[in-house]
Every structure is written in C-alpha cells, then in structure tokens.
Structure 1
C-alpha cells in the first residue's frame, strides 16, 4: 500500500510539472520592444547577427543620409551587411532614448558616439501582431 501511494504521488508530481511546462511559445512571445531594440544595437555595435532577422519586419526600410544623398536598403541587404561585419566590435559609445512610445509603435533614438562623429539612428518598431519588429531605420551622421 505504501508503494502504491508513492507511485501515485510520483505520477501526480510528474503530471503537475508537465502541465506547468506545457506552455508552447508562440513566435512573437519573446519579440518585445526592448528585445528588438537591444538586438538592433547588438547587431550594429557588436556584429551579433543572431536574432537580427527575427526582429526586422519583411518590409523594413533602412535609410542613411550621407551629405545630401539618401541611401536606402532592404532587410536582406542589411542582413547581408551585418553578416559581412559579423563579430566586429565598433569603437563607439552607444545610448538609446525613447522618443515616442505607445502600445502600437515606438521611435527610439540610438546614438553611436565615435571619436570624430556621431551616428544617430531613429529606429521605428511596431507591434505587428507577431511581436515587436523594426519597420524603419533612418540614420544621420554628424
């Protein structure tokens, strides 16, 4: 009888533990606004490509203002560029400032302070229904 109680208690414990871990992660569960921004900063400043493609929306546009010229890039072009600079640590100090934020979108200013210039990135992230994703980045150099 004592053995039967032990077996039943063990089975109950296994069922409870299994039910507690039964939450299946949906793709966008970990795609928070902060995760998207941190992944962007890691990619741009440290060359960390892991997860970058996941936080960028398929229709995202990347624009760089160089003098009077605006250069535009797609998601695939940016991923290719970041992969080419994989694990390259930029010699800069980075800071982020939330310029605007609500439940649907946010605009975050990412300043990359180098010795001779500052690269300011205005990163727009949106709650796409599949998590927060980068939809637009506009970069200026000062």
Structure 2
C-alpha cells in the first residue's frame, strides 16, 4: 500500500510539473525581449540575442535632413559589430505607440546633449516569436 501511495504521489507531481511547464512562455519570443535586445545593442553595444530578434527581411531607414538612408539586416549587424561594447552617452526611453496581437510599434528616444534620435521600431508576431521588421530613425 505504501508503494502504491508513493507511485500515485509521484505521478501527481509529474502531471503538475508538466502542466506548469506547458504554461510558461519562452522569454525570447516576447515583444519586450525584442525591444530590450534592440535597445541594448543601440545604446550599450551589447549584441547578445540581436540576430535572433531581427527578421531576415528587416529594414532600417534613417531620415537625415532631406536624405533617406536605407539598410538591410546584414548591413546593420555589421554596423553593430563594428560598435560592439561602445556605450552611447544618451538618455534612452521607450513608449508603445500602437500594439495589437500581431504588430507592435515602439518609439525609442535617444536624447543626446545636442540632438534627439527617435527610432520607430515595428515588431511583428511572425509565428516564430516577435521579430523586429522595420526601424525608422529620425534625427532632431
């Protein structure tokens, strides 16, 4: 009888642990992880996880005065690698502009002494986690 109780208790614990594990969300597939990884790369030069949060078709556009510069994922990864571990001397803030079940737009403001860089980051739920699909930067 004692063995039967032990087996039943063990099975109950196994079922409870299985149900608890099934409800956990992988942090690396959330929009917060994607935006935090992007901010870390932009402001601190920390590249851990950056390649995983950028969609393969990600586009980066910068408006400088009246000139539009456009870059792809590989161009930006090369830029970030050149500036690895370089910390920007700016104050950074984020705010959600729009959020739905499939797309979120986040404004990332980087305030320097003499100008502000606003990045409008589009994050899409790709079915394989939330990925950055577009970044539009404006300098003031």
TM-score of the alignment, normalized to the shorter chain, above 0.5: yes
Deviation at 1:18, TM superposition (A): 7.9
Distance (Å, rounded) in 1 between the aligned partners of 2:13 and 2:73: 45
TM-score by length of 2: 0.84
Distance (Å, rounded) in 1 between the aligned partners of 2:21 and 2:87: 39
Structural mapping, 1:33-52, within 5 Å: 33-52=31-50
Give me the CA root mean square deviation: 2.6
Task: Give 1:122's aligned residue.
Answer: 120
Distance (Å, rounded) in 1 between the aligned partners of 2:55 and 2:70: 15
Gaps of 5+ in 2: none
Runs of 4+ in 1 over 4 A off after TM superposition: 11-23
Distance (Å, rounded) in 1 between the aligned partners of 2:62 and 2:28: 29
Structural mapping, 1:33-112, within 5 Å: 33-112=31-110
TM-score by length of 1: 0.83
Instruction: Provide the aligned length of Structure 1 versus Structure 2.
Output: 140
Contact kept? 2:27, 2:33, Cα under 8 Å: no
